[in-house]
Amino acid sequence: MSDSNARNADLNGLTIDRSGKNKPPGRWKRWFHLLWILLPIAIYFFYQTGLQKITPALSVRTATVYMLTGTESASELVATGYVVAQIKAAVASKATGRLKVLNVEEGDVVEKDQVLAELFNEDIKARLDIARANLRISQADSVAAYLNYERQKKLLASGHTTVEILEVATATYEKAKASVEAMKASLKAAKVDLDYTIISAPFDGTVLSKNADVGEMVTPFASSASSKGAVVTLADMSSLEVEADVSESNIQKVKINAPCEIILDAYQTVKYSGFVKKIVPTADRARATIQVKIAFDNLDNRIFPEMSARVNFLPISAEQSETEEFKPVMVVEHAAITSRDNQKVVFAVEGDYSKMIPVTIGRRLADVTEILSGLTVGQKVILSPPGGMKTGDKVEISQ
């Protein structure tokens, strides 16, 4: 091959082949373009479903938005307490024995001196019979001594006996009289012992609980783990009152005979009228409270001892009709309200996340604040939200 041909062959090898320029792109290039489109979507989806799930939730306490009744919104003070029977007794026996008869059960209404229960008392009845017999013997001896005494007096007057014999007859008669008195006392003691085995109602009332069953041992002080002290617990249901604890700082707002509204937790829609009956003149040092007793104006058979109650201490007469001031209002606890950018806000719980809601507040009523707008009844709101909390923060409600 000549040199010119060799040079032409080398130049031809350096020529750029442009024939593939118009060929369609391969399949891998199409997948590559699709990947660049789907990648941002996948990252966003991963953030929403992955990162947020592993983000630790903030533990929060919550409260519920609710409606406050008209009288509650007008009350100067709200306190909680329990219904308590002022006349109540754990009825027991002063004797020790096995329970023989129990005539009542829970809920029975009894009258004063009605027999509630009886212990086995055959031995005491036998001692009572012995005491009666001994009394009759002593009385017979006393009669004989008296007749002998009278006879000796007549014989001494006629000179047929001596002074010494009369003195002995007199001493025998006095001893017989003393023996009669002693036997009477023994008989009375036996009757008392028998009465101790018969358990009677000390007042008119209702049986609240039955503390012993037939066959169980009953002792005055229940000194044994297997014995019982009281047989039944009795209460006078007409003496029911509410005992509420009022903070020392608010006790000046409570006045004797001031009207009150009583709401039992068992009957939230029923309102009982009452009045302040007594302020107990001592304070609880540990809790810094003073006990106040509130009497019901009218009792009914739905009220039971130990029921929890809420008491609204009213500044007005209970007979005054409601005005615009005393209409029901929507409220939330003070701790739920905070500020953001000089605006009052509340953080509500929606699902697992927080949501900031601007609110318009009204009056401050005892432990709650009136909400004029922004919330609805039943919403759950976060108490004492942290300063950095914002909408969308993941939260977990603590128990």
pLDDT tens per residue across span 242-260? 999 999 988 998 999 999 9
Summarised one tens digit per residue, pLDDT across range 285-305 is 999 999 999 999 999 999 999
Question: What was the pLDDT predicted at 398?
Answer: 81
Section 81-108 average pLDDT: 91
Distances (CA, A) of 136 to 132, 186, 191: 6, 12, 16
Summarised one tens digit per residue, pLDDT across range 176-234 is 999 999 999 999 999 999 998 999 999 999 999 998 889 888 887 655 555 677 899 99
Say yes or no to pLDDT of 334 above 50: yes
The third-level CATH classification (topology) of the domain covering 76-87+239-314 is Elongation Factor Tu (Ef-tu); domain 3 (2.40.30)
Sequence-distant (≥ 6) Cβ neighbours of residue 185 within 8 angstroms: none
Contact 292, 246 (CB under 8 A): yes
Percent of the chain with pLDDT over 70: 80
Question: What was the pLDDT predicted at 327?
Answer: 73
Q: What is the dihedral of CA 308, 309, 310, 312, to 10 degrees?
A: -160
User: Which sequence spans correspond to the domains of the chain?
Assistant: 58-71+326-397, 76-87+239-314, 89-234
- Give CA–CA dist 382/366, Å, rounded: 19
Six-digit token string for 270: 């029923």
Question: What was the pLDDT predicted at 227?
Answer: 63
Sequence-distant (≥ 6) Cβ neighbours of residue 240 within 8 angstroms: 83, 84, 85, 86, 296, 299, 303, 305
Question: What was the pLDDT predicted at 10?
Answer: 55
Question: What was the pLDDT predicted at 387?
Answer: 86
- Average pLDDT across the chain, whole number: 84
Question: What was the pLDDT predicted at 320?
Answer: 47
- Give CA–CA dist 279/399, Å, rounded: 36
The third-level CATH classification (topology) of the domain covering 58-71+326-397 is 2.40.420
Fold agreement between 76-87+239-314 and 89-234: no
Section 388-397 average pLDDT: 88
Percent of the chain with pLDDT over 90: 50
Question: What was the pLDDT predicted at 323?
Answer: 45
Domain 89-234 class in CATH: mainly beta
Distances (CA, A) of 110 to 28, 85, 91, 204, 333: 96, 16, 13, 6, 46
Rg (Cα) of the chain, in Å, rounded? 47
Question: What was the pLDDT predicted at 57?
Answer: 78
Confidence of residue 324 (pLDDT cuts 50, 70, 90): very low
Summarised one tens digit per residue, pLDDT across range 33-79 is 666 777 777 676 666 555 555 567 788 899 999 887 666 666 668 88
379: how many CB neighbours lie within 10 A of its CB?
Answer: 22
Confidence of residue 159 (pLDDT cuts 50, 70, 90): confident
Say yes or no to pLDDT of 3 above 70: no
Higher pLDDT, 156 or 35: 156
- Give CA–CA dist 177/264, Å, rounded: 66
Confidence of residue 326 (pLDDT cuts 50, 70, 90): low
Contact 208, 233 (CB under 8 A): yes
CA neighbor of 236 nearest in space, from 262, 258, 205: 205
Question: What was the pLDDT predicted at 279?
Answer: 95
57: how many CB neighbours lie within 10 A of its CB?
Answer: 12
CA neighbor of 65 nearest in space, from 371, 395, 386: 371
- Give CA–CA dist 234/114, Å, rounded: 12
